[in-house]
Amino acid sequence: MKKQKLIIIGGDAAGMSAASKVRREDTEIEIIVFEKSEYTSYSACGIPYFISGKVSTSEELIIRTPEQFKKKYNIDARILHEVVEVDTDQNRVLVKNSLEKTQFWESYDKLLIATGGKAYCPDVENRAADGIFGVSTLRSGIKINEFIENSKPKNAVIVGGGYIGLEMAEALLIKGLKVSLINRSEEIMNTLDSDMGKTIREAMEKLGVTMYLKEELKHFEVKNNTVSAVVTDKQKIKADIVILGMGTSPNTAFLKNSKIALSEKGAVKVSRTQRTNIRNVWSAGDCAETFHLVSKKSFYVSLGTVANKTGVVAGKNILGQKTTFPGVVGTGVCKICSYEVARTGLLEKEAKSLGIDYITATIESKTRAHYYPDAKDICVKLIAERKTGKLLGGQIIGEEGAAKRIDVLAVALTNKLTLQNIIDLDLSYAPPFSPVWDPVQIAARKLIGNQ
């Protein structure tokens, strides 16, 4: 029997999770990974810390090199190979070798698309200028660092006040740059409700970030093909370096002419087995859609956790095992200055837009017993369905020890717990860790009183 061939497009979290899973259970199948950049399997989430200097070398962010994949797993990961076309009728992909400037067709029996995402930027004037960076690949992180070292920019403008924008704002402050941030909506962190985002904005302002709210990027001005200013609908802001923090969009441009179905946002449509509309083609990670267990809708999210999990599920299904990825509840966490910020499930504004009749409560508590040294502030907001008391979502802002409590709410959402169920949970307590009622339970108690 002819040896089967699996081609994987993209050599980071989803692709390499799938590749490793397949190899562990099938020593025969040929596995070829085409990766556009120079790197496989790295932590893109670590880039802000590499820029700030908290992580000293980019190598520390690399989990496994192509050589290690070859040696340990017999996986043929070819870097600097970009797939530019997929032909599902003939089961082949067109590959551009950017080192040798060659191009060739490679056939497959099974195909996994795991090309990840890239920093979104609207199609404005000069968007391709030097000094404008997204933060979605290790290569971009290294380039930012080189640019800072070589061009010594003084003024940084961050476009967008989400996780990445804020992490990068802090990193560039640490590097000694003057940092401004423009944000389209009236409050930063639109991954939270605006009452929660305010705390973070004020902390960042205190740290020295100049915030421009309700301002929209119009275009960039350049000098010698390098960015010199960000022009908004209200003003022109001097910029020697620009970081794009307006979210991530799936890397699927090369699929436009293929028969693989994409969502409106360009994400690959997949079933719960991570299979696309084509029988022998799967997709996983930041280039694919996922399912939101609370809103019960298809959902696009760009997260390392989801990439790893969907990669493994794709791998299992490629092996012929019938498994599914149930979906996500929309959990996210981020550290900004001394603040920890987390959310899961639906925000209040999301519940509202879905037409759900909800109740909400916000409480202030402490991360430890009130009398224990270094008890830090924590603020918890919960949203629940009015009629049933079923949890819909939670948001946490606080200092050290606050954010990871979101995980209790994430498990609660997955299991459709009510506020009373949350109050009844046997959560751990000792004075160095929590008040007797954990802050998430204090919030549930307050909210159940509102019912």
Q: Which residues are catalytic?
A: 45
Q: Toward its own copies, which CB reaches closer, 31 or 336?
A: 336
Kindly give, in sequence order, each residue whose CB lies less than 8 Å from that of residue 44, ignoring residues fewer than 6 positions away: 12, 61, 135, 136, 137, 138, 141, 304
Using CB under 8 A as the binding criterion, the count of chain residues that bind its own copies stands at 64
Separation of alpha carbons 76 and 57, rounded Å:
26
- Report how far residue 327's alpha carbon sits from residue 290's, in angstroms, rounded to the nearest whole number: 6
Taking the complex as a whole, the smallest distance from the CB of residue 427 to its own copies amounts, in Å, to: 5
Residues 431-450 that bind its own copies (CB under 8 A): 431-434, 436-438
Per-residue string for binding with its own copies, 276-315, x by CB under 8 A? -----------------x---------xxxx-xx------
Sole binder of its own copies in the list 406, 419, 447, 448 (CB under 8 A)? 406
Interface map 75-114 toward its own copies (x if CB under 8 A)? ----------------------------------------
**Could you tell me the smallest distance in angstroms from the CB atom of residue 234 to its own copies?**
32
Give whichever of 56 and 90 is closer to its own copies, judged by the CB atom: 56
Q: Which residue in the set 328, 442, 444, 448 belongs to the binding site for its own copies (CB under 8 A)?
A: 328
Candidates 65-73, 128-136, 177-185, 404-412: pick the segment binding its own copies (CB under 8 A): 404-412
319 lies in the binding site for its own copies (CB under 8 A): no
The CB density around residue 450, as the number of other CB atoms within 10 Å, is: 12
- Cα–Cα distances (Å) from 72 to 24, 110, 171, in that order, read 10, 22, 35
Residue 65: φ, ψ to 5°: -90, 165
Taking CB under 8 A as the criterion, which residues in 136-165 touch its own copies? 163
* Torsion sign (Cα): 388, 391, 395, 399: positive
CB neighbours of 335 closer than 8 A, spacing ≥ 6?
Answer: 167, 341, 403
Instruction: Report, in Å, the least distance between residue 420 CB and its own copies.
Output: 8
C-alpha–C-alpha distance, residues 260 and 133, integer Å: 29
- CB of residue 95 to its own copies, shortest distance in Å: 28
Q: CB 304 → its own copies: shortest distance, Å?
A: 5
In which region does residue 304 sit, left (phi positive, over 0), alpha (psi from -120 to 50) or beta (all else)? Answer: alpha
Give the DSSP H or E segment for 205: helix 194-207
What CA–CA distance (Å, rounded) separates 205 from 288?
36
Query: Could you say whether residue 410 binds its own copies (CB under 8 A)?
Result: yes
Q: Which is nearer to its own copies, 222 or 333 (CB)?
A: 333
**Alpha-carbon distances, residue 127 vs 121, 130, 159, 220, 244 (angstroms):** 8, 9, 12, 7, 10
Shortest CB 390 distance to its own copies, Å? 14
- 424 in contact with its own copies (CB under 8 A): yes
Q: List alpha helices for 330-395, DSSP H.
A: 348-353
Stretch that binds its own copies, among 119-127, 187-195, 228-236, 421-429 (CB under 8 A): 421-429
Check if the beta carbon of residue 280 is closer than 8 Å to that of residue 109.
yes
Tally the residues of the chain: 451
Tell me which residues touch its own copies (CB under 8 A): 13, 43, 45-46, 49, 54-55, 60-61, 163, 293, 303-306, 308-309, 325-326, 328-335, 340, 342, 344, 369-373, 401, 403-408, 410-412, 414-415, 417, 421, 423-434, 436-438
